[in-house]
Amino acid sequence: MTEPELEVDVLTSQPRVERVPRSHLSLELGHLYMEDLLDGPQALRRHFAQISPWAGFVRARHPAPLRVSTCFLVDDYFSQVASPKKLVPELLEAAHDAGLGIDYLVRESACACAGDVSPAELVLGRIVSDPPRGSNGLRPPVHMTGWVSNSRDRLRPDGLDEALATRPWRPPEQNGARSHSICMEVQLWDEPDGRRRWSCALLSAVWQLLRLGLLRHQGKPVISPERWTGEYPDRWEDLPPLVQLADGAQPFAAFQTVSLLETRFADVEAAVRTILDQVSIDPAVTEQTAAQATAQKVDLSDDVVGRISHVFSDGL
């Protein structure tokens, strides 16, 4: 079987970067784990009742006409409890009862593997560590350690002599700290059974980049929406990575994202921002997105992290 031919720019001999349509805003209506769903439909009803006022607030603070697409992420990567045949109808009904609609459903496992492409590997390959001023270069590369940091490297090399080994404790120092440091070390994967298992933080970073339409593989979007009709399957892997649930939905990708989450996700989302601060986006994608924003008169932050917002709540 031959590989499909790539669309190539005749001037640069590089794969042409495909443009993706964008909404103004990608509004995430939930990111629940399977164990959160053990209580059945009532757990979903409580969740949507809690976030519904915040969804209204987010829409109201943006001027019309505003193109908004809504999405929901289901954890089928770390655990599998409920089948899509059972869960998706309950999910849609609970959202509808709270006055909300879900345009797109995404499987979290698709952030790790979408067909022949691993979005997580793509992001890992674009992480450029930010060494602090005066760094001694002792920290191995991210692709070897599986960790990213936003602070000064305080590791000691093996074989350091005893005199230096007993030097006084030195506090960590955040790169680019404002007055005081907030230091983070973020794990990207582990290997509990000899196989790489991506961390929630890295998969959530991938999730944000997918929603912003900033990931490409050979010039093409990593995932694209597929409309699903009929009965849902028993297995999550039998669903497309990105399922369009609603006819006439605004584009999945957007210039900005807002996620409505419970406060327990705050640590992970802080880790996501640390990761994304060190991800280098393809310059062609960056230029293309900026041109789209200019043409549509959208005020777009140059910083990817500046395009991401969260609302954390444990109740009203």
d(CA 120, CA 109): 10
Assess whether the previous peptide bond of 240 is cis (omega < 30° from 0): no
Residue 39 in tokens: 């209580």
User: What is the DSSP-derived secondary structure letter of residue 4?
Assistant: P
Give residue 146's pLDDT: 86
Residue given tokens 């006022």 in the structure block: 53
For residues 236 and 107, the answer to whether their CB atoms sit within 8 Å is yes
For residues 106 and 53, the answer to whether their CB atoms sit within 8 Å is no
Give residue 156's pLDDT: 47
Residue 11 in tokens: 């001037």
Residues 6+ apart with CB under 8 A from 83: 232, 233, 234, 235, 236
pLDDT along the chain (316 residues), means of 10: 41 73 96 78 91 92 85 89 89 96 95 95 88 57 84 55 59 74 87 92 97 96 92 93 95 97 93 94 96 95 96 77
Span 193-234, pLDDT tens digits: 889 999 999 999 999 999 999 999 999 999 999 999 889 999
Residue 121 in tokens: 């590997």
Give residue 166's pLDDT: 59
Give residue 22's pLDDT: 97
Task: End-to-end CA distance of the chain: give it in Å, rounded.
Answer: 57
| The dihedral sign for the CA sequence 109, 112, 117, 122 | positive
For residues 71 and 103, the answer to whether their CB atoms sit within 8 Å is yes
Give residue 180's pLDDT: 81
Give residue 161's pLDDT: 47
Span 250-301, pLDDT tens digits: 999 999 999 999 999 999 999 999 999 999 999 999 999 999 999 999 999 9
Of the candidates 28, 104, 65, the residue with the CA atom closest to the CA atom of residue 298: 65
For residues 76 and 204, the answer to whether their CB atoms sit within 8 Å is no
Which amino acid is present at 188?
L
Of the candidates 183, 196, 107, 104, the residue with the CA atom closest to the CA atom of residue 144: 196
Q: What is residue 72's three-state secondary structure?
A: strand
Residue 83 in tokens: 């089948």
Give residue 7's pLDDT: 47
